[in-house]
């Protein structure tokens, strides 16, 4: 009996050790990358709209006279609270999905690359100067917001989970149907709006550009980086 009790105790100890290892392994994903992105978006919004620091508006993408850094910095700026609120919700959800797979550097790279891709698409396809279609005064078209990068994270979050595992397949189906539906909706909006800017000055071109940039990012990385 003592032998069996000792064996049972040892097995219980091994089980606890395995569970502890699994728990500690999961806790290593602290989502530092996502929370850093959220903090910067909040901080710039506060500086722009609450503290009225005029220099923040130089970070918006000015389509008539763009500077190179505006293609990056404008992805952290927002026109109003409703604009910020909707973007950070999806950034939080889908950014965490990407960071779980690719780490803090991966979610940052995904955000920046797809955000820049969205802005380049906007700059190429939208009018440069039409009384400020997305504008904050003046005659220039102005783009700002994280939505292009968020659409990029939509695409990346699905593609990084593509593995031959029934749980991953289920995740891809759940996420994929949402992402495809959003992509098709944006495509219809672009076709209906003509200019690529819909009601409420929503930049549908940026949304499509960000999603396509996300697909291209994963495609090229899959060719360059060993699995």
pLDDT grade for 29, boundaries at 50, 70 and 90: low
* Top-confidence residue, 175 or 87: 87
Residues 54 and 84 in one domain: yes
pLDDT of residue 176: 84
Same domain, 22 and 124: no
Does residue 199 carry a pLDDT above 80? no
pLDDT in tens, 45-71: 999 999 999 999 999 999 988 999 999
CATH number at 212 reads 1.20.1540.10
Query: Do 16 and 115 reside in the same domain of the chain?
Result: no
Report whether pLDDT(131) > 60: no
pLDDT at residue 4 in the model: 36
pLDDT, mean of residues 163-179:
80
H/E run at residue 37:
helix 32-45
Q: How confident is the model at residue 8 (pLDDT cuts 50, 70, 90)?
A: very low
Structure-model confidence comparison of residues 74 and 180, the more confident one: 74
Identify whether residues 67 and 80 lie together within a single domain: yes
Whether residue 3 is found in the same domain as residue 104: no
* Long-range residue pairs from 103-110, CB within 8 A, at least 24 positions apart, any chain: 103/33, 104/31, 104/32, 104/33, 104/34, 104/36, 105/33, 106/33, 106/160, 107/33, 107/34, 107/37, 107/153, 108/33, 108/36, 108/37, 109/217, 110/149, 110/152, 110/153, 110/156, 110/214, 110/217
- Residues 137, 26, single domain; the answer is no
Q: What is the pLDDT of residue 193?
A: 62
Q: So what's the pLDDT on residue 180? A: 85
Contact 107, 37 (CB under 8 A): yes
Planar angle of CA 142, 144, 186, nearest 5 degrees: 100
Percent of the chain with pLDDT over 90: 52
How many Cα atoms within 13 Å fall on the side-chain side of residue 118?
34
Predicted local distance difference test score (pLDDT) of residue 197? 61
174 — pLDDT class (breaks 50, 70, 90): confident
Same domain, 90 and 199: yes
pLDDT above 50 for 2? no
The count of domains in the chain is 2
Give the structural domain span for 7: 1-30
88 shares its domain with 22: no
7, 112: one domain: no
Provide the percentage of residues in the chain whose pLDDT is more than 70. 78
- Active site residue ranges: 147, 207
* Same structural domain, 96 and 16: no
Residues 75 and 129 reside in one and the same domain: yes
Write down the pLDDT at residue 118: 96
- At 169 the pLDDT is 80
pLDDT number for residue 185: 83
**Beta bridge partner(s), residue 62:** 142
Contact 196, 126 (CB under 8 A): yes
Task: Mark whether 12 and 111 lie in a shared domain.
Answer: no
């Amino acid at each position: 009996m003592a032998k069996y009790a000792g064996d049972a105790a040892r097995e219980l100890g091994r089980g606890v050790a395995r569970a502890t290892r699994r728990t500690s392994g999961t806790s290593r994903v602290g989502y530092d990358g996502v929370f850093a992105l959220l903090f910067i978006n909040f901080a710039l919004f506060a500086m722009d709209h609450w503290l009225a620091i005029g220099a923040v508006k130089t970070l918006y993408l000015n389509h008539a006279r763009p500077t190179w850094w505006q293609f990056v910095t404008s992805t952290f700026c927002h026109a109003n609270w409703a604009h910020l609120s909707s973007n950070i919700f999806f950034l939080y959800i889908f950014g965490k999905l990407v960071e779980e797979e690719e780490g803090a550097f991966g979610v940052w790279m995904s955000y920046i690359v797809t955000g820049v891709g969205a802005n380049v698409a906007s700059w190429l396809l939208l009018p440069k100067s039409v009384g400020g279609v997305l504008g904050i005064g003046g005659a220039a078209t102005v783009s700002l917001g994280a939505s292009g990068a968020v659409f990029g994270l939509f695409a990346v979050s699905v593609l990084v989970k593509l593995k031959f595992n029934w749980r991953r397949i289920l995740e891809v189906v759940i996420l994929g149907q949402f992402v495809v539906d959003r992509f098709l909706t944006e495509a219809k909006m672009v076709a209906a709006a003509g200019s690529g800017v819909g009601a409420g000055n929503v930049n549908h071109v940026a949304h499509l550009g960000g999603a396509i940039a996300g697909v291209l990012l994963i495609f090229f990385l899959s060719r360059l980086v060993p699995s």
